[in-house]
């Protein structure tokens, strides 16, 4: 490619760009500012919708992380509880059952 070819290619790109901008301006003048306002409104609506979705996704991710952290803590506590000898686990469970009040209604009340 010679310098003359590069110069001609650059001229064609510049002409195509100028033609596009010229047609854009002509279209804006022909269709009036209503089309530009509609396009701006649609762009604004789409942008707000995207931002809302990103914020909602972020909130869902944070909620998921909190839930996962709680479940890991519960699993760790359950592992620690079950690592104790069976006699101690059964004694503790029986003690809890004995101290829990009976919530069942008696007959006749």
What is the spatial distance between Cα 45 and Cα 38, in angstroms, rounded to a whole number?
Answer: 10
Report whether 82 contacts 89 (CB < 8 A). yes
For residue range 15-41, what is the model confidence (pLDDT) as tens digits?
777 777 777 777 777 777 777 778 778
CA distances from 75 to 63, 71, 81, 82 (A): 18, 6, 10, 10
Task: Categorize the per-residue pLDDT at 2 as very low, low, confident or very high, splitting at 50, 70 and 90.
Answer: low
Predicted local confidence at residue 107, as pLDDT: 65
For residue range 64-93, what is the model confidence (pLDDT) as tens digits?
998 999 999 988 888 888 888 888 888 888
* Beta-carbon contacts of residue 27 (< 8 Å; ≥ 6 apart): 35
pTM: 0.39
């Amino acid at each position: 490619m010679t310098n003359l070819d590069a110069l001609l290619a650059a001229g064609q790109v510049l002409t195509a760009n100028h033609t596009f901008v010229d047609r854009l301006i002509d279209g804006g003048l022909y269709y009036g500012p209503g089309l530009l306002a509609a396009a701006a409104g649609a762009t604004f609506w789409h942008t707000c919708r995207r931002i809302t979705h990103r914020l909602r996704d972020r909130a869902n991710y944070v909620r998921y992380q909190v839930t996962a952290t709680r479940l890991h803590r519960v699993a760790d506590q359950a592992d620690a509880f079950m690592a104790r000898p069976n006699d101690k686990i059964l004694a503790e469970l029986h003690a809890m059952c004995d101290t829990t009040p009976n919530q069942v209604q008696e007959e006749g009340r």
